[in-house]
Amino acid sequence: MLFGMGNPLLDISAVVDKNFLDKFGLKPNDQILAEDKHKALFEEIVKRNKVEYHAGGSTQNSVKIAQWMLQKPHKVATFFGCIGKDDFGKILKKKAEEAHVDAHYYEQTEEPTGTCAACITGDNRSLVANLAAANCYKKEKHLDLDSNWELVEKAKVYYIAGFFLTVSPESILKVAKHASENNKIFCMNLSAPFISQFFKEPLMKVMPYVDILFGNETEAATFAKELGFETDDIAVIANKTQNLPKENAKRQRLVVFTQGKDDTVATVGDEVTMFPVLDIDQNDIVDTNGAGDAFVGGFLFALVQEQSLEECIRAGHYAANVIIRRVGCTFPEKPDFH
């Protein structure tokens, strides 16, 4: 039913202090790609007292959450991405299996499996991704193979985080065009401010095929700035984004922007509606890493069941509310969503 493609990463999360952030020039709440100056960060973070390893990568997190919300049948979601033939790769395979996601990784030996350092301070998280193997995904070596493309064709709903634009925009376009031509649903995420800033060209090439666009308030503001919308009103940004050119006219684009503890903003027809999130005591928030991915996962769970927008958002809010009470993008054995 559901197809996802993205960067499979092993999350290495640890609670750090402001000195650690300053040392590596990190903002408290951000997502960036690792540069040479961050090499030492990965060595240093694993020496911290409490380090947790979790299967991560934005798209993979979301399809896992969707599968967790569904429970049965297993393997409703298929996931493509690139890993290395190493221990971290084995962990990712095992974790995908445990989550009942049908992961088909492109495995190569040139680069090790990608990692993402999640530097937690209070309820902020600064993510530094070292893509490594994830960056080696090759359309012609994996997506184009008949046995793999058949899996793509089976799906009804597609989700790819904007992060994958840095790796294989041609793979995204192939999937997006397939969805558009067959009147299926293609979803994408703005993912991080740097995507709109530095990968605007590939992003805008895919945009005409995007049926549902996700993002948070910071990403939405950066996107608006890059496109010259000349507004920082999130409702206006949502509306203008909805009205960008679109290939498949049978489906009006839906734009959904989350804002942390503030209302989620969504386009409903030509209107923009606010949806309040679930209340949570500040003391119950353990770590907001994965909250956005979880929201999308919950949303996709309701979407593949063809539920209303209100239900999709309600499911997204529920999933995010569960995830922020735990370290990393992890979840209890069963959901209690009604």
For the residues of 276-318, what is the DSSP string, one character each?
PPPP--GGG----TTHHHHHHHHHHHHHHTT--HHHHHHHHHH
In this structure, is residue 63 part of a structural domain? yes
| Cα distances (Å, whole numbers) of residue 169 to 44, 60, 172 | 33, 17, 5
The predicted structure's pLDDT at residue 100: 94
The angle at the Cα of 258, spanning 254 to 262, to the nearest 5 degrees, equals 135
Separation of first and last alpha carbons in the chain = 21
Known catalytic residues are: 293
For residues 254 and 213, the answer to whether their CB atoms sit within 8 Å is yes
For residues 237 and 217, the answer to whether their CB atoms sit within 8 Å is no
Over the stretch 115-124, which tens digit does the pLDDT of each residue have? 999 999 887 8
The predicted structure's pLDDT at residue 49: 65
Please enumerate in sequence order all residues whose Cβ is within 8 A of that of 207, keeping only pairs 6 or more positions apart, or say none. 213, 244, 245
The predicted structure's pLDDT at residue 43: 86
The predicted structure's pLDDT at residue 290: 86
Q: Which ranges of the chain have pLDDT less than 50?
A: none
The predicted structure's pLDDT at residue 21: 95
The predicted structure's pLDDT at residue 86: 93
For residues 252 and 241, the answer to whether their CB atoms sit within 8 Å is no
Cα–Cα distance measured from residue 131 to residue 117, given in angstroms and rounded to the nearest whole number: 11
In this structure, is residue 38 part of a structural domain? no
Containing structural domain, residue 140? 2-7+57-112+131-324
The predicted structure's pLDDT at residue 271: 94
The predicted structure's pLDDT at residue 331: 86
Cα–Cα distance measured from residue 163 to residue 221, given in angstroms and rounded to the nearest whole number: 17
In this structure, is residue 210 part of a structural domain? yes
In this structure, is residue 12 part of a structural domain? no
In this structure, is residue 46 part of a structural domain? no
Neighbours of 257 (CB within 10 A): 26
Tokens, residue 55: 């299967």
In this structure, is residue 258 part of a structural domain? yes
Cα–Cα distance measured from residue 163 to residue 116, given in angstroms and rounded to the nearest whole number: 13
Domain count for the chain, please give it: 1
Cα–Cα distance measured from residue 215 to residue 255, given in angstroms and rounded to the nearest whole number: 8
In this structure, is residue 334 part of a structural domain? no
Closest CA relative to residue 1, chosen from 106, 81, 100: 100
Closest CA relative to residue 244, chosen from 227, 230, 261, 256: 227
Closest CA relative to residue 148, chosen from 5, 24, 290: 5
In this structure, is residue 333 part of a structural domain? no
Residue 226, domain CATH: 3.40.1190.20
